Structure 1
Amino acid sequence: MMITSRQLEAFRAVMARGTVTAAAERLGVSQPAVSKILAGLEHEIGYPLFTRIKRRLAPTSEARLLEQEVTRLYHSLERVTEVAREIRERQVGDLLIYSTPALGRSVLPDVMATFMQRHTKAHIVFQVRSSTYINQKMIDQQIDLGFSMMPFEHPAMVTEELSRAAAVCVLPAGHRLARRKVIRPADLRGERFLSFPLDGRMRHLIDAAFEQERIERQLQIDVYSSADACALAARGLGVSIVDPFTARDYLGAGIAVVPFEPRIRYLFRAMRPRHRKPSRLADAFLDAVKAHIRAKGWS
């Protein structure tokens, strides 16, 4: 048995309109054509679907049972059409995003808040991880988008620079240097300094700025991220040099933020898997990140 879509269309039209003539008008074909299609359907299934009463066709009980299933089928097709449209308009889909803390705890949540308002049916897995972890996930082609500070190139990934943001100095709100217009290494001589891990790129750049001028600090506390440094600075536990995105989020929470010279640049990059076809939703999210960074003047 092979029922065609054309036969089902004719059947639906007759059930809805009650006559072959009206069904033919709805379908844009001749009355004999509809009659022939219906006859073919009845032959295919092996039982009659209509009885003629004067000029109208009365559906049999079998026809009403069949109509219920056909209606469900067409509703399913309409849903497929709707999903296809949502995919085209980048409304639905799964998105795996991994980011280092600097962007993952400040910029990306801001972008995601707006993004989810426009893409209400999207499903996002968002995790804040180390650069090393993200790089490996990207090499293995296991995530859609990665955001990192670590300079890293690999044939399995495509990278794009997003921002070169100048680091800032964060201090407890009541600190003696809180009202300075700019802070230099000599200003922080003898201060308890909140440092990043020894194997990190930013630790080397920051240490180099102080070593070049032979400025000693009290290196008592190491922290993992800018957010950790800001949280400790707010409690009077020291000063630090951090990314401006995180520092902005802690303003008014017990810290002061002052530009630092010489300038130390945070390099933020987006990464995509080279051997995994990018989804329309991933394109949309990356576009939203770039637009947000441009709007803030961070690009």
Structure 2
Amino acid sequence: MSLNPSLKSLQIFTSIMDLGSLSRAADKHHLSESAASRQLASLEGQLGFALFFRDKRQLIPTQQGKQFYREAQRLLYALQELPDIVEDIKQSQYQQLRLVSVPRLVRQIVSPALACLSQRSTELKIHFDVQPMRYIQRWLAGFQFHIGLGRLPAQHSDIVTERFASLPAVVILPKGHRLAKRSELSLDSLQDEALISCFTQQTLLGRNLVSIFNQAGLQPKPTIETASSQQACSIVASGFGYTISDPLSGHDIGDDVVMVPLASDFVFDFAFFLPQSSQSPPMVREFADEVRGVSEDYLERLKVEGLVAG
């Protein structure tokens, strides 16, 4: 099948997804609503599937539409980078770092590393994006980024990995919880508590949780399942239940939660993801070195807080 969607049709589609309506998307691109509708219909005709359900004047994304949205975003992102790349080449200042990270690494690891790198390399231009783990590997394999940071294992044949940190599993509880002062918690000691977890079948963290419980001969029975560890921690911070994650999620929430080591040898491995067939610019290695340094400092913090053995 030959596909040749126009740039305008992709822009209209992503704008509808972002703005929630055809009329707003048409206004953004200075088109009439009927012209924008024709662009959308042309795109759907070429793809061979509907991107939206039509409900009177409302457009509701189909499942295929939601999946295609991520790919359209990736393509448009690459095109948006072209002017900067051309300008840098003209000025012979092609010092760029394009990186992408999973959300949970941003505050504690990536942000401090970027701040240090930027202070030292003032001519460096950094493009930083945050995406769920399931998209990072595909985007890297398509050379949209020089480096990604996420959870192991990798599942793409065109990606190579370098582990930079292994973090322990911790129990995250509301501040003031009756179990908060324990030096360690087993799963048995949590049986009377409400479990808040990521989706156990749809997310890597959820599947990790199942493994942790299975190793103890138990099955997780979540009271609430969410899409991310951050959402799970937010519910715990409100005073209800507990969740199991790495310490990054608890530190991001702050003083409204308490973390206690889990009696388990399970660890969360975090790694750099690199395109296998691409020669990385020097700044990639410099950034990786900064991340390793920040990660070592973070592990020292965990030792001081009693979350890992000293």
Shorter-chain TM range is 0.5 to 0.7
- Which position in structure 1 is the counterpart of 2:10? none
- Alpha-carbon distance, 1:185 to partner: 0.1
Verify: 1:107 aligned to 2:100, yes or no: no
- Alpha-carbon distance, 1:189 to partner: 0.4
8 Å contact from structure 1 (residues 106, 246) kept in 2: no
Verify: 1:199 aligned to 2:211, yes or no: no
Q: Which SS does the other structure have where 1:142 is aligned?
A: coil
Q: Which SS does the other structure have where 2:224 is aligned?
A: strand
Q: Give the letter for the 1:163 counterpart.
A: A
8 Å contact from structure 1 (residues 229, 242) kept in 2: no
- Which position in structure 1 is the counterpart of 2:286? 284
Sequence identity (%): 26
Larger-gyration structure (1/2): 1
- Which position in structure 1 is the counterpart of 2:269? 267
Q: Which moved more, 1:147-156 or 1:94-103?
A: 147-156
Spell out, residue by residue over 1:7-52, the C-alpha distance to the aligned partner (whole angstroms, 9 max, x if none): xxxxxxxxxxxxxxxxxxxxxxxxxxxxxxxxxxxxxxxxxxxxxx
Q: Which SS does the other structure have where 2:222 is aligned?
A: strand
Distance 1:104 1:224 in 2: 17
Distance 1:117 1:260 in 2: 38
Distance 2:195 2:272 in 1: 30
- Which position in structure 2 is the counterpart of 1:60? none
Distance 1:209 1:284 in 2: 35
Describe how 1:200-279 pairs up with structure 2 within 5 A.
Answer: 200-213=203-216, 215=218, 219-252=222-255, 254-279=256-281
Distance 2:221 2:240 in 1: 11
Distance 2:270 2:202 in 1: 18
Describe how 1:82-231 pairs up with structure 2 within 5 A.
Answer: 93-197=95-199, 198-213=201-216, 215=218, 219-231=222-234
- Alpha-carbon distance, 1:294 to partner: 2.4
- Alpha-carbon distance, 1:165 to partner: 1.0
Q: Which SS does the other structure have where 1:208 is aligned?
A: helix
Q: Give the letter for the 2:257 counterpart.
A: I
Q: Give the letter for the 2:165 counterpart.
A: S
TM-score scaled by length of structure 1: 0.64
Distance 1:186 1:155 in 2: 39
Task: Quickly say closer, same or farther: Cα 1:107–1:225, change in 2 above 3 A.
Answer: farther
- Which position in structure 2 is the counterpart of 1:293? 295
- Alpha-carbon distance, 1:272 to partner: 1.2
Unaligned runs of 5+ in 2: 1-87, 303-310
Distance 1:255 1:154 in 2: 36
Runs of 4+ in 1 over 3 A off after TM superposition: 211-218, 295-299
Q: Which SS does the other structure have where 1:183 is aligned?
A: coil
8 Å contact from structure 1 (residues 157, 274) kept in 2: yes
Q: Give the letter for the 1:119 counterpart.
A: S
TM-score scaled by length of structure 2: 0.61
Distance 1:132 1:245 in 2: 19
Spell out, residue by residue over 1:53-111, the C-alpha distance to the aligned partner (whole angstroms, 9 max, x if none): xxxxxxxxxxxxxxxxxxxxxxxxxxx9xx87xx7xxxx72211111122134311121
Q: Which moved more, 1:183-192 or 1:217-226?
A: 217-226
Q: Give the letter for the 1:147 counterpart.
A: L
Q: Give the letter for the 2:271 counterpart.
A: R
- Alpha-carbon distance, 1:169 to partner: 0.8
Spell out, residue by residue over 1:97-131, the C-alpha distance to the aligned partner (whole angstroms, 9 max, x if none): 11112213431112122222222332222122112
Q: Give the letter for the 1:199 counterpart.
A: Q
- Alpha-carbon distance, 1:203 to partner: 1.8
Q: Which moved more, 1:135-144 or 1:241-250?
A: 241-250
8 Å contact from structure 2 (residues 183, 261) kept in 1: yes
Describe how 1:5-154 pairs up with structure 2 within 5 A.
Answer: 93-154=95-156
RMSD: 2.5
Unaligned runs of 5+ in 1: 1-79
Q: Give the letter for the 2:114 counterpart.
A: M
8 Å contact from structure 1 (residues 146, 270) kept in 2: yes
